[in-house]
Structure 1
Amino acid sequence: MFEQEVLISTHHGKMPAFVVCPHKDGQWPTVIFYMDAPGIRPELWNMARKIAKQGYFVVLPDLYYRIGTVRFDLPRREETMSQVVRACISHAMNRAQILDDTGAVIGFADGQGQAKDGPIGLVGYCMGGPFITWAAEHFPDRVKSAASLYGVRMVNELEQSPHNFIGKVKAELYYGFAEHDNAAPPEVIAQLTKIMEEAGVKHRVEVLPETRHGFCFPERGAYAPAASEHVWKVLFDLWERTLK
């Protein structure tokens, strides 16, 4: 595999990112991987590698770069650390910033010889659920499919709430939720589904049985192997169909 840590120019400054793709001749469709709340860590690098092995140019940007270099030691997580994580989330959940950063990532990928021109895919976990929704709506000519796993704050009182944009998306969407997740209760899932149905958005919504928030992450206590592998299959089928 070819992999590299790079700095992507944005309106705010230099955004670190991890880039990985097959280490052989050819060009690969771009997939932007939006991190979850605990941020950049080896676990996410390994997930990016898993995507790249299927034939993709994957960019995993560090979306906390505006506040410096933020790294969490998750096995040692306790309430004090959780307070810092929540503060980082609040800083990152800004639609204008995410769209600016996404545009920068797309521009970066377009300048790389390994990245194929054309359709782009998105995947986001946890706080990345809103990000894939905002970006899919804002970049309709490039984003052809987007996936969210246990996305948070999908319905809220703010003007930038994802549910206000989801019905305008032209890409194919996948939303996978945990059965037990206070951040995505059944009424929120039902509302999102109704919006997509009424708008005619091509979508698939699943609630994975007997799962909790974070079930896709192999190093988290909530990891559910069967559900995680199911999601990987859904993602690879989605990208095979829409990006290649």
Structure 2
Amino acid sequence: MCDDHIHQGLVEDPTVSRRAFGLMGVAAAGAATAVQAQARVVEKDVEVKTADGTADAALYHPEGRGSWPAVLIWTDVLSLRPAFREMGRRLAGAGYVVLVPNVYYRNRRAPVVDGSFNFSNPEDRAKIAPFRAALTPEAVDRDARAYVAYLDAQPQTDRRRKVGVQGYCMGGPLTFRTAAALPDRVGAAASFHGGGLVAEGPTSPHLHVGKSRASYLVLIADNDDKQEPQAKVTLKQALDAAGRPNKVEVYEGAGHGWTVRGSQVYDEPKAERAWAELLALYKANLG
């Protein structure tokens, strides 16, 4: 689960350069850097009307004329911040219209915490507990519909093509809910070190995969798997039973949060491998 590990990605991350974060991690055939390969990107802060208020968010798309598939990024527990802005920018450079919302907009505009943040500190955890409490399953479904509708309203979005959704840590369950809530639009769903994909009760994300029509990529941190070794089995069984194309994999040696630059366990080689798998998922399913 997300709360059991210290990971955040930096709230402020001055070390991340566009060139460093632009390295493509293209699968094995060994490509050159993405700075040369990617399109130039337009980025702007936007406000998205939802059923519950107005969400602050970041929007990215390739520069120039054209239309591209849309992708929604659900952040980890610390919401919209530089590490996830860089992800949005990078993905747009690969040819997508990308929205990265502040998941806690009901409580506070991003950045939602000031300074450093450590999950081993109860006082730090208490800062965001009320924010998370507002993200009920029903609220997530409403938000997901609003965010995808916003993406579909952008002139750069190719609405003939399916939408992708990806999530990190607590964003994993939000990704699953989005795919179930919007089966006609979501064609691909990816979870990276997602927490709580298999949980107690009827709202467990794995119980709702039968409502979706997406292909799934679920990449699990090694230490998460050691805590809950049965979860991957249960999740795989649910996806297979629902007839959903899927890949469920434990990243050996990868700690919870390994894909988020700036986190204490960030692992660049494994993060690049995960990024390559994400791009392959989208290429195959958002056409």
Shift in CA distance, 192/74, structure 1 to aligned 2, threshold 3 Å: farther
* 1:39-93 residue CA offsets vs partner (Å, 9 max, x unmatched): 111111001111111000000111101112252246343431122234433332x
Query: Equivalents in 2 of 1:113, 1:163: separation in Å?
Result: 34
The 5-angstrom pairing of residues 193-208 of structure 1 reads 193-208=236-251
Specify every segment of 5 or more residues in structure 1 that has no aligned partner in the other structure, as ranges.
Answer: none
Report matched runs for 1:74-223 at 5 Å.
Answer: 75-77=116-118, 78-92=121-135, 94-118=136-160, 119-181=162-224, 185-223=228-266
What is the alpha-carbon root mean square deviation over aligned residues? Answer: 1.7
- Cα offset for 1:227? 1.1
* CA distances 1:190-227 after superposition (whole Å, capped 9, x unpaired): 11011112222110011001011100011011111111
Distance 2:248 2:90 in 1: 23
TM-score (norm: length of structure 1): 0.94
Question: Counterpart in 2 of 1:8?
Answer: 48
Match of 2:100?
Answer: 60
Structure with the bigger percentage of strand: 1
TM-score (norm. length: structure 2): 0.80
Structure 2: which 5+ runs fail to align? Answer: 1-40
CA distance, structure 2, for counterparts of residue 202 and residue 54 of structure 1 = 23
1-structure distance, mates of 2:46, 2:218? 29
Q: How many residues align?
A: 243
- Equivalence for 1:22: 62
Partners of 2:57 and 2:254 in 1: CA distance: 30
* Relative contact order, higher structure (CA 8 A, sep 6+): 2
Describe the shift of the 1:73–1:184 C-alpha distance in structure 2 as closer, same or farther (beyond 3 A). Answer: farther
Q: Which amino acid aligns with 2:276?
A: K
